[in-house]
Chain A
Amino acid sequence: NAGVMQNPRHLVRRRGQEARLRCSPMKGHSHVYWYRQLPEEGLKFMVYLQKENIIDESGMPKERFSAEFPKEGPSILRIQQVVRGDSAAYFCASSPEGQSRRTQYFGPGTRLLVL
Chain B
Amino acid sequence: AQSVTQLDSQVPVFEEAPVELRCNYSSSVSVYLFWYVQYPNQGLQLLLKYLSGSTLVKGINGFEAEFNKSQTSFHLRKPSVHISDTAEYFCAVTPHNYGQNFVFGPGTRLSVLP
Contact = CB atoms under 8 A, between A and B. Distances in A.
Interface string A24-38: 000000000101000
B99 A107 contact: no
A44 B107 CA distance: 12
A109 B36 CA distance: 14
A105 to B, nearest CB: 7
Nearest to A101: B98
Contacts of A111: 41
Interface size band for B: 20 to 34
Nearest to A6: B43
Given A103-B34, A103-B49, A109 B99 contact: no
Interface string A13-55: 0000000000000000000010100000111110010000001
A108 to B, nearest CB: 4
A109 B104 contact: no
10 contacts: A4-B43, A42-B107, A43-B104, A44-B104, A102-B51, A102-B94, A103-B49, A106-B44, A109-B42, A109-B43
Interface of A: 4, 6, 33, 35, 41-45, 48, 55-56, 59, 91, 93, 101-109, 111
Given A43-B44, A111-B41, 17 more contacts: A4-B43, A41-B106, A42-B104, A42-B107, A44-B104, A55-B99, A56-B99, A93-B44, A93-B102, A102-B32, A102-B94, A103-B46, A106-B43, A107-B43, A108-B42, A108-B43, A109-B43
